[in-house]
Amino acid sequence: MQPNLALSSTSLLDTRRQVETPEGIDLILRPAGLMPRALAFGIDLLIRGAILLGAFILLGVLGQFGAGLGTILYFLVNWWYPVLFEMLYQGRTPGKKTMGLRVVHDDGTPVGWAASLTRNLLRAVDMLPFAYCVGAISCLSHSSFKRLGDLAAGTLVVYRDEEPKRPQIPEADIERAPFPLSLAEQRAVLDFAERRADLSGARRAELAAILAEPLDSLPDHAEKRLHGIARGLVGSA
């Protein structure tokens, strides 16, 4: 296993969960917290309201038959809306899709009928006594932000990651590291170069200065040297 990954899952303050798959790799799941989930629920609530309003206006024209259909529709939208979306739409309701979330089993596999039904029926308890108080407390106190329904069903709400943008490793003279780097150190040097755009100039200089002594260079030149080492690690680009 990667030393730096092992580190991040045990000692660092991190919400990521690692799941080992039969292919021998670790999938990384990032559970979503209370706020994005609440927003996703709010969006779904609006959509459900709009569906019901539209349907009742439309079915009102049909009279008694429409009223019968209306009650069935109300039942479906009330209880089955999340289940059907999660099952038929890759674990996402429209609200979750908007917030970039998705429901999966604890082991990272797509959510199934039983789990989806469980978590959505037990929503009734999470809503108690009002405004999702129980669910919110459970969500805030669990390390993977699970509400009671998720606990019983064995599901997680995770972020669906965006496609990462390709970072440019800054121009520098390619050089070899003056001493052998461990894998974690190698990753750290590469990360430093790739994340150049996200860090301020002063912070970069400060970080690089830490390594000035082992690199045998002046603190001002350390950043340039690190970029050079990073380029050397990646190979000619």
Partner 1 sequence: MKQHLFEQRHGADWQRFETLLAPLENGKAERQQCESFAADYRHLCQHLALAEERGYSSHLIDRLQQLAMRGHQQFYRHRSHLGAQIIRFVIAGFPQLVRREWRAVLAGSLLFFGALIGMGLLSYLFPELIYSLIAPEQVRQMEEMYDPGARRIGRFAERDSGEDWVMFGYYIMNNIGIAFQTFASGLIFGLGSLFFLLYNGLVIGAIAGHLTRIGYSETFWSFVVGHGAFELTAIAFAGAAGLKLGWALLAPGRLRRAEALRRAAGQAIQLVAGVILFLLIAAFVEAYWSSMTYASAVTKYWVGAGLWLLVIAYFLFAGRTRHAPD
Interface positions with partner 1 (CB under 8 A)? 2, 5, 21, 23-25, 27-28, 64-65, 67-72, 74-75, 78-79, 87, 90, 104, 108-110, 112-114, 117-118, 121-125, 128, 148, 151-154, 161, 163-164, 166-167, 183-184, 186-187, 190-191, 193-194, 230, 233-237
Minimum distance, C-beta of residue 226 to partner 1, in the bound complex (Å)? 13
Minimum distance, C-beta of residue 42 to partner 1, in the bound complex (Å)? 21
- Specify the 3-state DSSP secondary structure of 156: strand
Minimum distance, C-beta of residue 3 to partner 1, in the bound complex (Å)? 10
Minimum distance, C-beta of residue 53 to partner 1, in the bound complex (Å)? 18
- Nearer to partner 1 by C-beta: 35 or 114? 114
Q: Are 116 and 153 in contact (CB under 8 A)?
A: yes
- Specify the 3-state DSSP secondary structure of 217: coil
For every residue of 42-83, DSSP letters joined together read HHHHHHHHHHHHHHHHHHHTTTHHHHHHHHHHHHIIIIIHHH
Q: How far is CA 61 from the centre of its chain?
A: 45
What is the spatial distance between Cα 31 and Cα 52, in angstroms, rounded to a whole number?
A: 31
Give the H or E element holding residue 19. strand 17-20
- Nearer to partner 1 by C-beta: 24 or 201? 24
What is the spatial distance between Cα 31 and Cα 15, in angstroms, rounded to a whole number?
A: 7
Minimum distance, C-beta of residue 158 to partner 1, in the bound complex (Å)? 9
For every residue of 162-184, DSSP letters joined together read PPPPPPPPPP------SSPPPHH
- Nearer to partner 1 by C-beta: 186 or 217? 186
Minimum distance, C-beta of residue 176 to partner 1, in the bound complex (Å)? 12
Q: Are 34 and 139 in contact (CB under 8 A)?
A: yes
In degrees, rounded to 5, the angle at the alpha carbon of residue 171 between the alpha carbons of residues 169 and 174 is 95
Instruction: State the greatest distance between any 2 C-alpha atoms of the chain, in Å, as a whole number.
Output: 86
- Nearer to partner 1 by C-beta: 84 or 219? 84
